[in-house]
Amino acid sequence: MSAHRSGRAQNPRTDVYDVAVVGAGIVGAALARELSGHELTVALLEARADVGDGTSKANTAILHTGFDAEPGTLESRLVARGYHLLSAYAEATGIPVERTGALLVAWDREELGALPRLKEKAEANGYEHCRLVDADEVYRAVPALGEGALGGLTVPDESVICTWTTNLALATDARRRGAELLLRHAVTGVRRDDGHTTLITTAGDVRARWVVNAAGLGADHIDRLFGHDRFTVTPRRGELFVFDKLARPLVDTIVLPVPTSRGKGVLIAPTVYGNVMLGPTAEDLTDRTDTATSESGHDFLLGKGERLMPRLLAEEITASYAGLRAAIDHGDYLVEATPEQRYLLVGGIRSTGLSAGLAIAEHARGVLAGAGLPLRARDRLPDPPRMPNLGEAAERPYQNAGLIARDPAYGTIVCFCERVTEGEVRDACHAPVPARDLDGLRRRTRAMNGRCQGFFCGAAVEALRARHHADDGCDRADGRDED
H or E segment to which residue 473 belongs = none
pTM: 0.94
Q: Which residues pair with 269 in a beta bridge?
A: 277
- Inter-residue contact 176 to 476 (CB < 8 Å): no
Q: pLDDT at position 5, please? A: 35
C-alpha–C-alpha distance, residues 34 and 43, integer Å: 12
Structural contact between residues 336 and 212, judged by C-beta atoms closer than 8 angstroms: no
* Distance, CA of 150 to CA of 8 (rounded, Å): 57
64 has catalytic annotation:
yes
Tell me if 391 sits within 8 A of 96, measured CB to CB. yes
What size, in residues, is the chain? 483
Report the alpha-carbon distance of residue 206 to residue 184 in Å, rounded: 12
Q: Which of 38, 64, 185, 469 is catalytic?
A: 64
Task: For 349-388, give the DSSP string.
Answer: --TTHHHHHHHHHHHHHHHHHHHT----B-S--PPPPPPP
Contact by Cβ (8 Å): 105, 256? yes
Answer for the pair 254, 267: CB distance below 8 angstroms, yes or no: yes
Give Dmax (Cα) for the chain.
Answer: 68
Which strand (E) or helix (H) includes residue 143? none
For every residue of 244-308, DSSP letters joined together read -GGGGGG-SSEEEPPPBTTB---EEEE-TTS-EEEE---EE-S-TT-----HHHHHHHHHHHHHH
pLDDT for residue 481: 52
The pLDDT of residue 15: 87
Written as one letter, the residue type at 385 is P
Residue 221 class from Cβ within 10 Å (0-12 exposed, 13-18 middle, 19+ buried)? middle
Looking at residue 6, its pLDDT comes to 36
CA distance 3 to 475: 20
Helix (H) / strand (E) element for 169: namely: helix 163-176
Residue 301 CA to residue 471 CA, distance in Å, equals 45
Q: Where on the phi/psi map is residue 417: left (φ > 0), alpha (ψ -120 to 50), or beta?
A: alpha
CA distances from 267 to 79, 90, 159, 259, 326 (A): 20, 24, 14, 11, 19
Give the pLDDT confidence score for residue 331 in this predicted structure. 87
Do residues 377 and 37 touch, judged by C-beta distance below 8 A? yes
- DSSP annotation of 190: E
- Nearest 5°: phi and psi at 180? -100, 130
Per-10-residue mean pLDDT, the chain, length 483: 37 76 98 98 97 89 96 97 98 98 97 97 97 98 98 98 98 98 98 93 97 97 97 93 96 92 79 97 91 94 95 95 88 96 95 96 98 96 97 97 98 97 97 95 96 93 88 48 46
Residue 186: name the closest of 481, 479, 436 by CA.
Answer: 479
Cβ neighbors of 26 (< 8 A, separation 6 or more) are 52, 56, 163, 166, 167, 170, 353, 354, 357
Query: Rounded to whole angstroms, how far apart are CA atoms 17 and 29?
Result: 16
Whether 146 and 166 have beta carbons less than 8 Å apart is answered as no
Task: Let me know the angle formed at the C-alpha of 349 by 345 and 355, rounded to the nearest 5 degrees.
Answer: 125
Residue 224, C-beta contacts closer than 8 angstroms, at least 6 positions apart: none
Strand partners, 320: 241
β-strands 180-182, 42-45 pairing: parallel
Q: How far apart are CA 115 and CA 121, in angstroms?
A: 10
- Amino acid identity of 46? E
What is the structure's pLDDT at 7? 39
pLDDT score recorded for residue 2? 35
Phi-psi region at 97: left, alpha or beta (left = phi > 0; alpha = psi -120 to 50): beta
